[in-house]
Amino acid sequence: MAETQAYTAISEALKALGIEAQNPGTSTGSKSMNGGSLLDSVSPVDGSHIASVTQTTPQEYEQVVQTAQEAFKVWRLMPAPQRGEVVRQFNEELRRLKEPLGKLVSYEMGKSYQEGLGEVQEMIDICDFAVGLSRQLHGLTMHSERPGHRMYEQYHPLGIVGIISAFNFPVAVWSWNTALAWVCGDVCIWKPSEKTPLTGIACQKIAARVFAKNKLPEGISCLINGDYKVGELMTQDERVPLISATGSTRMGKQVAQTVGARLGKSLLELGGNNAIIVTPDSDLKMTVIGAVFGAVGTAGQRCTSTRRLIIHESIYDKVKNALVDAYGQLRIGNPLDEKNHVGPLIDTDAVKNYQKALEKVVEEGGKLIVEGGVLEGEGYESGCYVKPAIAEAENHFEIVQHETFAPVLYLMKYSGDVDNAIALQNGVRQGLSSAIMTNNLREAERFLSVAGSDCGIANVNIGTSGAEIGGAFGGEKETGGGRESGSDAWKVYMRRQTNTINYTTELPLAQGIKFDL
Ligand code: UN1
């Protein structure tokens, strides 16, 4: 293993998280499993090989499902507020381990340390939310049309929830699912991204410790590792009633078809192509901060990243110049060094996609106004560091219609009123996040109205990324339609049952039907 400077910085964190640097193995609960081929965790920060992880074999998967099924029998009987208490304890561990876990996220995935900490904070927030929720899994009561009858609905857990998560939010998205699923009484099987297996193992260890301390079965939280083939074992499995998958639209279509073919439920969180509309009434300073953080934060690898800026022609040059200035001040480098704004892309394949996008936009008639390029030399040896780029482009360009997971921002003009900007904003296949920068009430309300943004998230005077956990998170169209995290997203993790109770000595039928014997 290459003992680089960054690796040394992370070794303390690995120790605090209880991970041996080499070959930490795959585990269901605390049991390690062997036999599968190895998956390498390589840091995009400095190219270090951090560890190798065993891939889950079909036989091992079978054991995992059985362990989860057994655990469900116990967990579902525990009153929801007591399950909330276990989630509270898990949250205490997250608070204690926020720094090492944030560091590992930053090192294994490449986002800035601040964003790594932010990601763990997002886990803490959703656990807080879930603890409160554990006393509020409300159903409705309704009036029966029949005398002496009572009618209500209640929510029961589904069983096993399969979670497929992406590299860009390697831990937070898992926790959005697990924290809610656990208080709902479900057990979880998690397949983290094959690009970030180590953060998965770290979280699994934290959870396993908390369940063991409470003398609860280890199968409440299970981990499987591997590529899409391991994911397919879950998506095809009728014993897994809900699959929650985060990733590309291509992957989501596969998951939806496979899960749909067995009439399972899927919760999909797929690609975005998020725009900010910048109107003549916008505040320039706020616009620049919102747009730059949205476009270069997490090196443009959020599903909520800002990909397009739709700027009114009357202020176009002013906004463009301010952005070019701001991009000139960006510091790109080791994300563990807090001076840097932008870390590396996840791997060299992502770098190739970034390069292709820049070539393509020019080919289609666009113009690069901040050129971009791959960084080389000291500190950039991993080959994953790129310069955030800005291109003037048109909405109908194929490359603009496509989500490129990299810091490439497309600028385009609109003229006339805000409806023209809204048409451009909605004129893509994805529908995750959107924003408008304006101090004009009419424009803001129009953007939020039924004739406005068609996205799952629509913000005013805020960028497209950085949603809080309290709202439902997700989007429409090719983004997949799922909602995770806050609001009433918990309902997808439960099955609803309508109960009607007759406390009379008669058996009247609904709809007034007569049936006498
Ligand atoms: C993602 O990119 O998959 O709203 C999730 C945000 C974060 C979550 C992003 N809270 O940008």
Residue 8: predicted pLDDT: 74
For the sheet with 389-392, list strands across it.
Answer: 367-370, 389-392, 408-414, 306-312, 274-278, 433-437, 457-460
- Alpha carbons within 13 angstroms on the beta-carbon side of residue 5 total 7
Question: What DSSP state is assigned to residue 492?
Answer: G
Q: Are residues 318 and 265 in the same domain?
A: no
Q: Radius of gyration of the chain from Cα atoms?
A: 24
What CATH number is attached to the domain comprising 380? 3.40.309.10
Q: State in Å: Cα 159 to ligand 1 middle.
A: 27
pLDDT in tens, the chain (517 residues): 345 556 677 889 999 999 875 544 434 433 344 567 899 999 999 999 998 999 999 999 999 999 999 999 999 999 999 999 999 999 999 999 999 999 999 999 999 999 999 999 999 999 999 999 999 999 999 999 999 999 999 999 999 999 999 999 999 999 999 999 999 999 999 999 999 999 999 999 999 999 999 999 999 999 999 999 999 999 999 999 999 999 999 999 999 999 999 999 999 999 999 999 999 999 999 999 999 999 999 999 999 999 999 999 999 999 999 999 999 999 999 999 999 999 999 999 999 999 999 999 999 999 999 999 999 999 999 999 999 999 999 999 999 999 999 999 999 999 999 999 999 999 999 999 999 999 999 999 999 999 999 999 999 999 999 999 999 999 999 999 999 999 999 999 999 999 999 999 999 999 999 998 8
* Any ligand 1 atom below 6 A from CB of 168: yes
* Any ligand 1 atom below 6 A from CB of 311: no
* Any ligand 1 atom below 6 A from CB of 302: yes
Structural domain including 389 reads 274-477
Domain presence at residue 505: no
Q: State in Å: Cα 123 to ligand 1 middle.
A: 12
Q: Are residues 280 and 406 in the same domain?
A: yes
Nearest Cα residue to 194 out of 219, 231, 222? 231
Task: Provide the domain count of the chain.
Answer: 2
Domain presence at residue 337: yes
* Any ligand 1 atom below 6 A from CB of 169: yes
Residue 513: predicted pLDDT: 95
The DSSP result for 418-463, as a single string, is HHHHHHHHH-SSEESEEEEE-S-HHHHHHHHSTTS--SSEEEESS-
Q: State in Å: Cα 57 to ligand 1 middle.
A: 31
The residue contributing the CA closest to ligand 1 atom 3 is 303
Q: Which of 165, 169, 174, 193 to mutate to test ligand 1, by most ligand atoms within 8 A of the CB atom?
A: 169
Q: Which residues pair with 54 in a beta bridge?
A: 38
Q: Are residues 166 and 181 in the same domain?
A: yes
Domain presence at residue 509: no
Identify whether the C-beta of residue 429 lies closer than 8 Å to the C-beta of residue 273: yes
State the DSSP H helix or E strand holding residue 182, giving kind and residue range, or none if neither. helix 172-184
Cα 217 from Cα 424, distance rounded (Å): 52
Q: Are residues 245 and 288 in the same domain?
A: no
Residue identified by tokens 């110049």 is 321
Identify whether the C-beta of residue 45 lies closer than 8 Å to the C-beta of residue 335: yes
* Any ligand 1 atom below 6 A from CB of 103: no
* Any ligand 1 atom below 6 A from CB of 111: no
* Any ligand 1 atom below 6 A from CB of 465: yes
Q: State in Å: Cα 261 to ligand 1 middle.
A: 29
Q: State in Å: Cα 177 to ligand 1 middle.
A: 14
Q: Are residues 236 and 304 in the same domain?
A: no
Q: Which residues pair with 160 in a beta bridge?
A: 187
The residue contributing the CA closest to ligand 1 atom 7 is 466
Q: State in Å: Cα 136 to ligand 1 middle.
A: 26
Q: Are residues 300 and 180 in the same domain?
A: no
Q: Are residues 244 and 284 in the same domain?
A: no
Q: Which of 112, 473, 484 to mutate to test ligand 1, by most ligand atoms within 8 A of the CB atom?
A: 473
Domain presence at residue 109: yes
Domain presence at residue 515: no
* Any ligand 1 atom below 6 A from CB of 471: no
Q: Are residues 99 and 216 in the same domain?
A: yes
In the residue annotation, 70 being an active-site residue is answered as no
Query: Sign of torsion, CA 482 483 484 490?
Result: negative
Q: State in Å: Cα 466 to ligand 1 middle.
A: 6
What CATH number is attached to the domain comprising 109? 3.40.605.10
Instruction: Return the structure tokens found at 509.
Output: 């039928």
Q: Are residues 188 and 149 in the same domain?
A: yes
Identify whether the C-beta of residue 4 lies closer than 8 Å to the C-beta of residue 46: yes
Q: Which of 122, 305, 465 to mutate to test ligand 1, by most ligand atoms within 8 A of the CB atom?
A: 465
The ligand 1 atom nearest the CA atom of 473: 4
Q: What is the pTM of this model?
A: 0.95
Q: Are residues 260 and 301 in the same domain?
A: no
Domain presence at residue 507: no
The ligand 1 atom nearest the CA atom of 468: 10
Residue 34: predicted pLDDT: 52
Domain presence at residue 513: no
Q: State in Å: Cα 9 to ligand 1 middle.
A: 26
Q: State in Å: Cα 105 to ligand 1 middle.
A: 14
- Alpha carbons within 13 angstroms on the beta-carbon side of residue 204 total 28
Domain presence at residue 404: yes
* Any ligand 1 atom below 6 A from CB of 373: no
Q: Are residues 188 and 310 in the same domain?
A: no
Q: Are residues 40 and 183 in the same domain?
A: yes
Instruction: Return the structure tokens found at 24.
Output: 């930490």
Instruction: Return the structure tokens found at 64.
Output: 């995992």
Residue 35: predicted pLDDT: 60
State the DSSP H helix or E strand holding residue 399, giving kind and residue range, or none if neither. helix 398-401
Q: Which of 304, 306, 432, 473 to mutate to test ligand 1, by most ligand atoms within 8 A of the CB atom?
A: 304
Choosing from 119, 269, 443, 484, which is the catalytic residue? 269
Identify whether the C-beta of residue 106 lies closer than 8 Å to the C-beta of residue 13: no
Q: Which residues pair with 27 in a beta bridge?
A: 32
Nearest Cα residue to 343 out of 108, 123, 170? 108
The ligand 1 atom nearest the CA atom of 246: 3
